[in-house]
Chains A and B, each alone.
Chain A
Amino acid sequence: MGGGRRGPDLSAPDTAASFLGEIERALEEQGNLSAVERFARWHEPSGNPAQQKYYRDLLPASLPAPGQQYAFEVDLDRCSGCQACVTACHSLNGLDERESWRSVGLLSNEDWRAPFQATVTTGCHHCADPGCLTGCPVLAYDKDPVTGIVRHLDDQCIGCQYCVMKCPYEVPQYSAERGIVRKCDMCSSRLAHGEAPACVQACPTLAIRITLVDTASTVAAYRGGAAAFLPDSPSPRHTVPTTRYVSARELPPTLAAGDRGRVSPAPAHLPLVLLLVLSQLAVGASCAAPFCADPRLPASAAALAVTAALAAGAFHLGQPLKAWRAFLGWRRSWFSREVIVFGVFGAAAVACAAAAVAAPRMPVRPMLALAAAAGLAGVACSAMLYADTPRAFWGAGNSFGRFFGSVVVLGLALPLAAMPHSARAFTGLSLALAAASAAKLAFEERIRRHRGEGGALLNTELGRTAYLLSGPLAVQANLRRAFGGAGGIAAALAAAGAAGAGFRGARAAAVLAFALVLAGELLERYLFFTAVSPDRMPGGRSP
Chain B
Amino acid sequence: MSRAHAAGGGPAKAPANSLLRRWSGPLTSDLTLHPGDFGLGKVPERLRPDLTTTSVCGFCSVGCGLNIHMRGGRAVNLTPATDYPVNLGLACPKGWEALTPLESAGRATAPLLRSAGGELEEVDWETAMQVFTLRFRAVMDKHGPESVAWLGTGQVCSEELAFLGAFAKFGMGIVHGDGNTRQCMATAVSAYKESFGFDAPPYSYADLEHSDVLVFVGSNPCIAHPILWQRVLRNPHRPEIIVVDPRKTETAMAATRHCAIRPKSDLAFLYGIARILIERGMLDRRFIDAHTTGFAELSERMRRYDPETVAEATGMDAAALVETAEAIGRGRRVSFWWTMGINQSHEGTLAAQAIINLALMTGNIGRPGTGANSITGQCNAMGSRLFSNTTSLFGGRSFLRAADREDVAGILGIDAGRIPAAESLAYDQIIAAVEAGKIKALWVVATNPAHSWIDRNHLSRVLGKLDFLVVQDMYAATETARAAHLVLPAAAWGEKEGTFINSERRVGLVKKVARAPGQALTDFNIIRLAAHYWGCGEMFRQWTSPEAVFQILKRLTAGRPCDITGIEDYRMLDQLGGVQWPCPAGSGPPVPEGRLFADGLFCTPDRRARFVTGEPTPMPEPADPAFPIILLTGRGTSAQWHTQTRTGTSAVLRRLYPAHVYVEVNPVDAAKFGIRPDGRVRVASRRGELVARAFVTVNVRPGEAFIPMHYPEANRLTHPSFDPKSRQPSYKACAVSLSPAGQ
Contacts and interface: CB of A to CB of B under 8 A. Distances in A.
Q: Do A and B bind each other?
A: yes
B146 A1 contact: yes
Contacts of A22: 528-529, 532
B82 interface: yes
Interface stretch (A153-161, A164-172, A416-424): A153-161
Interface in B136-189: 137-138, 140-141, 144-146, 171-173, 175
Interface in A78-135: 78, 80-84, 86-88, 90-95, 97-100, 103-104, 108-112, 114-119
A19 B223 contact: no
B5 A6 contact: no
Given A59-B3, A82-B638, A118-B253, A33 B21 contact: no
Interface stretch (A202-210, A434-442, A483-491): A202-210
Interface in A145-186: 145-147, 149, 153-157, 178, 180, 182
A323 to B, nearest CB: 13
Interface in A1-24: 1-2, 4-11, 13, 15-20, 22-23
Interface in B552-587: 570-571, 574-575
Contacts of A188: 10-11
B690 interface: no
A117 B145 contact: no
Contacts of A145: 12
Contact of B11 (A78, A114, A149, A178): A149
B643 to A, nearest CB: 19
B728 to A, nearest CB: 26
A117 B699 contact: yes
A188 B21 CA distance: 20
Interface string B71-105: 00100011110110000111111001100000000
Given A4-B417, A87-B97, A36 B511 contact: yes
Contacts of B40: 49-50
B92 A195 contact: no
A178 to B, nearest CB: 7
B75 to A, nearest CB: 9
B11 A192 contact: yes
A145 B12 CA distance: 8
Interface string B277-306: 000000000000000000000000000000
Contact of A7 (B22, B89, B173): B173
A20 to B, nearest CB: 6
Nearest to A139: B21
B606 interface: no
A190 interface: yes
B222 interface: yes
Contacts of A50: 39-40, 82-83, 89
A53 B557 CA distance: 38
B656 A110 contact: no
A452 to B, nearest CB: 13
A267 interface: no
Contacts of B529: 19, 22-23, 26
A115 B11 contact: no
Contacts of A100: 652, 655
B134 A16 contact: yes
Nearest to B229: A80
A52 interface: yes
Nearest to A8: B535
A204 B248 contact: no
B194 interface: no
Given A1-B173, A83-B656, A155 B25 contact: yes
A260 B695 CA distance: 10
A505 interface: no
A504 interface: no
A331 interface: no
B4 A189 contact: no
Interface string B666-686: 111000000011100000000
B8 interface: yes
A46 to B, nearest CB: 5
A328 interface: yes
A181 to B, nearest CB: 11
B658 A40 contact: no
A43 interface: yes
Contacts of A362: none
Contact of A83 (B133, B229, B638): B638
B417 A5 contact: yes
Contact of B658 (A190, A201, A328, A541): A541
A56 interface: yes
Contacts of B222: 80-82
B437 to A, nearest CB: 18
Nearest to A38: B571
A45 interface: yes
Interface string B463-506: 00000000000000000000000000001000101000000000
Contact of A13 (B20, B138, B248, B698): B138
Contacts of B96: 84, 87-88, 90-91, 202
Residue among B28, B130, B260 facing the most chain A CB atoms (10 A cut-off): B28
A204 B146 contact: no
A31 interface: yes
Contacts of A97: 651-652
Given A26-B525, A52-B41, A205-B230, A117 B30 contact: no
A325 interface: yes
Interface stretch (B513-521, B595-603, B612-620, B715-723): B513-521
B637 interface: yes
B11 A40 contact: no
A217 interface: no
Interface in A29-43: 29-31, 33, 35-37, 39-40, 42-43
B22 A155 contact: yes
Contact of B652 (A54, A86, A119): A86
B740 interface: no
Contacts of B590: none
Nearest to A45: B37
B91 A325 contact: no
A91 B698 contact: no
Nearest to B27: A154
A501 interface: no
Contacts of A27: 125, 519, 521
A193 interface: yes
A84 B82 CA distance: 15
A149 B124 CA distance: 58
Given A205-B230, A542-B658, A112 B10 contact: no
Nearest to B73: A33
A242 B718 CA distance: 47
Contact of A45 (B38, B130, B696): B38
Interface in B500-557: 509, 511-516, 519-522, 525, 528-529, 532-538
A63 B4 contact: yes
B30 A154 contact: yes
Contacts of A111: 698
Interface stretch (B42-50, B334-342, B424-432): B42-50
Nearest to B638: A82
Given A56-B3, A59-B3, A193-B1, 6 more contacts: A39-B53, A40-B51, A81-B250, A117-B248, A155-B25, A203-B90
18 contacts: A16-B130, A16-B533, A17-B532, A26-B522, A30-B495, A43-B51, A44-B38, A50-B40, A54-B82, A61-B4, A82-B226, A115-B701, A116-B253, A154-B25, A154-B30, A156-B22, A194-B1, A328-B21
- 8 closest A-B pairs (Cβ-Cβ)? A192-B10, A94-B44, A49-B41, A155-B25, A261-B677, A9-B535, A204-B230, A194-B2
Interface of A: 1-2, 4-11, 13, 15-20, 22-23, 26-27, 29-31, 33, 35-37, 39-40, 42-52, 54, 56, 59-63, 77-78, 80-84, 86-88, 90-95, 97-100, 103-104, 108-112, 114-119, 139, 144-147, 149, 153-157, 178, 180, 182, 187-195, 201-206, 258, 260-262, 325, 328, 541-543
